[in-house]
Amino acid sequence: MPKAVWNGQVIAESDRCEVVEGNQYFPPGAVRREMLRDSIAHTTCGWKGVASYYDVVAGGAVNKDAAWYYPDPKPAAANIAGYIAFWKGVKIEP
């Protein structure tokens, strides 16, 4: 079962992830919300829409903008609405 790990902490774990462009998107209920902090960052993808970001907070450290999600994706990406993906050193383990 895929899990997202950073700074020795498991942030998310699920066997119901969606894989898009090589990224594991975890269902919202599979993510430890206490380890996420809202960010003001946003980016735009031509086919998925506008992404919002979270900082990941674990073990007393902050990984800025290390998680992203599409709260209202375009129709082609509807399957990842609200799902959360990670980068910036967050390891996705099988």
Beta carbons within 10 angstroms of residue 36's beta carbon: 20
Count of structural domains within the chain = 1
Over 6-25, what HEC string results? ECCEEEEECCCCEEECCEEE
Here the CATH number for the domain that contains residue 60 is: 2.170.150.40
- How confident is the model at residue 54, as a pLDDT? 98
Average pLDDT over residues 14-33: 97
- How confident is the model at residue 71, as a pLDDT? 98
pTM, whole model, 2 decimals? Answer: 0.96
Residue 3: pLDDT band with limits 50, 70, 90:
very high
Burial grade of 56 (CB within 10 A; 0-12, 13-18, 19 or more): buried
Tens-digit pLDDT profile for residues 52-74 = 999 999 999 999 999 999 999 99
The range of the structural domain enclosing residue 34 comes to 3-93
